[in-house]
Amino acid sequence: MINIEEIGTLDKRVTILKYEDVETQYNLTQKKLIPFLKVWARIEPLRAYYEQYKEKTEDLSKITIRYRDNIDNSMVVQYKNRLYRINAVIDPYESHVKLELMCSIKKVGVDDGN
């Protein structure tokens, strides 16, 4: 069982963005990233995984936040001017204390299917 002290230092203020359909001036809809939630987080590179598969992977990070039940992998995390695409949302031990968001850096102009 994880208790709240085991989360660690949440020292980064991040914004979780989600895609929503927005109507344009021509009555067309397009998906835009809309701010959904501001939370405190810890951002760590996934060094061990990265070193093992260095030539195959992109830059991966683990973003830890307090537990929320409305976070999913269709969302994006913004920290300063960097965007992280959420690849997986993990609730360790199903304890509902923290969420570990396994993320990759979202490249500008790259369509990720959303």
Element spanning 51, H or E = helix 47-52
- DSSP code, position 93: G
Residue 114, C-beta contacts closer than 8 angstroms, at least 6 positions apart: 19, 31, 74
Q: How far apart are CA 29 and CA 90, in angstroms?
A: 32
pLDDT tens readout for residues 54-67: 555 567 899 999 99
pLDDT tens readout for residues 6-52: 667 899 999 999 999 999 888 899 999 999 999 999 999 886 555 55
* pLDDT value for 113: 53
- The token pair that represents 28 in the structure block: 């067309």
Q: Taken in order 9, 54, 75, 102, is the CA torsion positive or negative?
A: negative
